A and B are shown apart, each in its own frame.
Chain A
Amino acid sequence: MHDTLVEVNDLKQYFPIRTGIGKTIPLKAVDDISFTIGRGETLGLVGESGCGKTTAGRSILRLYEPTGGEVLFEGEPVTDRNITAMRKKMQMVFQDPYSSLDPRMTVEDIIGEPLDVHKLCKNRKERRERILELMETVGLNAEHATRYAHEFSGGQRQRIGIARALAVKPDFIVCDEPVSALDVSIQAQIINMFEELQEKLGVAYLFIAHDLLVVHHISKRIAVMYLGKIVELADADEINDHPIHPYTESLLSAVPIPDPDITRARQRIILEGDVPSPLHRPTGCPFRTRCRYATEQCARECPELTDRGGGHQVACWVK
């Protein structure tokens, strides 16, 4: 078993929303989520848009000030005071490779910026060598170091973003939808690179995505989020073969599988309606308004994540 690298305890992230003069109500983007990530492990985080998966990733790195809860990195709480030092160990790869790179910086400067911020290189020569080494690691041509981001394709830009994250030799990277903006034929290149980097450098990932097949492929364990809550967390194969939570069940059945015989033979569970607004979250279990099995208890109380054996955690009253 891996020893724990990142521990998230009851993390809360509320955003105040103005509803009138002097009136605000909290938008509970992330509400009481807890999980751990082992050294060199990949935890997949899936859910539909607006479920809080991106916010969760950003709160862990303190890109937002969390409303409550704590994040422990190697047992040490991540706070405002030590965040600069912590970011030497925790990094992020963003979804959009077009807007996450400064168009006025050369590739060399983009990858070199974290080296400068954390003063990791003694002189220009060392900095240059490290940058070229990083470019090679992510499969970029070293001759392109003086080019600007717009001269690269989407897949290559994502490689630049990954090289930037790797520059400080982090132990943990939050990958926020790193392949969803890329073409199908390029996605596999980047997915493979993430896997190879993990084997080589032992880095752990929080892999946030909405594509369940991609997440299943890359992750060891998967957490499913719905309206700011984790509803199920288990081993990737376990969650895929034996989903327990009704939401996970329908989510999996809704994914179109690129295999005509399998996908057509499958029983699809079509959910009624849309995801409710996080501003007006249902009482009790957040999923109950779309759930086939909802009972009175679901409306009254919100179920906690409980272990159903073998580390398979589910938050549901019925199942």
Chain B
Amino acid sequence: MAERLLSVQDLHTSFFTDNGEVQAVNGISFDLDPGEILGIVGESGSGKSVTAYSIMQILADTGKITGGRILFKGSDLTTWNDKQMQSFRGKNCSIIFQDPMTSLNPVFTIGNQLEEAVVLHTSRRGEAAKARVKEFLELVGINEPEKRIKQYPFELSGGMRQRVMIAMALACEPDILIADEPTTALDVTIQAQILELIQSLQKKMGMAVILVTHDLGVIADMCDNIIVMYGGRICERGTAREIFYNPKHEYTKGLLRSIPNVGNMKKKLVPISGTPINMLNLPKGCAFCPRCDAAMKICLSELPQEITINSDHKAACWVNVKNALEEVSADA
């Protein structure tokens, strides 16, 4: 089989806090192919951002990858040293953050910051680097780039800043772009602009995109494949159509029932009961079982394994096992 662009295998990431070890990511595995748009969806604390940060190795000081491998074109990133990682970031893999205000440096001009990225990761210097900066500002739809490169972040609107962030991320033509809640801080009409931009740039440059978000609408719009996370584990993965029209994990089902959608405007929403999970105190079995209506005895004590639903779809939920067993016994 051909080498994967990125292959995450049994990744564990923990944060060591005063209150104990928080296992933010608990053994997740997935592959990413060139040109694929992969969506990671989950609520706060599900470990979706930590997964992204683990790939880039930009975790907070207390965070540490405690197990597993991250293979980039066959080479394990977790064994790379700081210098190698530095060249990996930017050149091979870039990230756009949620808040474009705090992720740009307020005391440098836009041009300055973009040029830094170009000089650091490519062989372009001086005028060539400046030309590259202008080219990419134009590419992300910023008019009058001549004027903009002399401006500071505070002089730009939220949407503009996010465009600058995208320009910076793409200036070195990475193989992978990680977008961590890229539009959460933006207004609806600006969100539409930015999503459209990411989509068109992805087509033009052919990079792979990992889109991390809690917004199921954005996921439905953008992604080929979707990973649903809860409590640091993957509960379900599949193509967009499989996840939305044939959900097989109780959490995904609950999530889809609980959001207002075109089909349920006149009906009552069906909320997921209970409160979000406490990561300091993970249950022994399925992380979702304290909130699950279909929970069984086995859900409390044993971790569900991922089961193949069909070639495009896998889910880790005991309910599927039960249904399969019932089918078999009914046949017999």
Contact = CB atoms under 8 A, between A and B. Distances in A.
B271 A216 contact: no
B43 A254 contact: no
B221 A183 contact: no
B244 A186 contact: no
Interface residues of B, number: 46
Contact of A185 (B192, B219, B262, B272): B272
Interface string A212-232: 111011000000000000000
B214 A187 contact: no
A188 B270 contact: yes
B275 A153 contact: yes
A258 B220 contact: yes
Interface in B178-231: 187-193, 195-196, 214-221
B268 A184 contact: no
B165 interface: no
Contacts of B187: 48-49, 210, 275
A188 B259 contact: yes
B276 interface: yes
B27 interface: no
A191 B272 CA distance: 12
Contacts of A258: 216-217, 219-220, 244, 256, 259, 261
Contact of A256 (B193, B218, B244, B271): B218
A80 interface: no
B260 interface: yes
Contacts of B262: 257, 259, 262
B269 A270 contact: no
A264 B241 CA distance: 11
A121 interface: no
Interface in A234-277: 236-237, 240, 250-251, 253-264, 268, 270-271, 274-275
Contact of A188 (B217, B263, B269): B269
Contacts of B220: 256-260, 263-264
A271 B193 contact: yes
Contacts of B157: 274
A85 to B, nearest CB: 36
A186 B165 CA distance: 31
A156 interface: yes
Interface string A265-292: 0001011001100000000000000000
The prevalent SS among residues of A at the interface is: helix
A151 to B, nearest CB: 12
Interface in A90-145: none
A268 B254 CA distance: 28
Query: A156, A210, A256, A271: which has the most chain B beta carbons within 10 Å?
Result: A256
B258 A214 contact: no
Most chain B beta-carbon contacts within 10 A, residue among A189, A259, A275? A259
Contacts of A10: none
Contacts of A191: 260, 269, 271
A195 interface: yes
Interface of A: 48-49, 153, 155-156, 183-189, 191-192, 195, 210, 212-214, 216-217, 236-237, 240, 250-251, 253-264, 268, 270-271, 274-275
Given A259-B244, A274-B157, 16 more contacts: A48-B188, A183-B276, A185-B258, A185-B272, A186-B272, A188-B259, A188-B271, A189-B271, A254-B188, A256-B195, A256-B221, A257-B220, A257-B262, A258-B217, A270-B192, A274-B159
18 contacts: A48-B188, A184-B259, A186-B271, A189-B273, A192-B268, A212-B188, A213-B261, A217-B264, A254-B188, A254-B189, A256-B195, A256-B220, A258-B216, A258-B219, A258-B256, A258-B261, A259-B263, A268-B192
Interface of B: 43-44, 157, 159-160, 187-193, 195-196, 214-221, 240-241, 244-245, 254-256, 258-265, 268-273, 275-276, 291
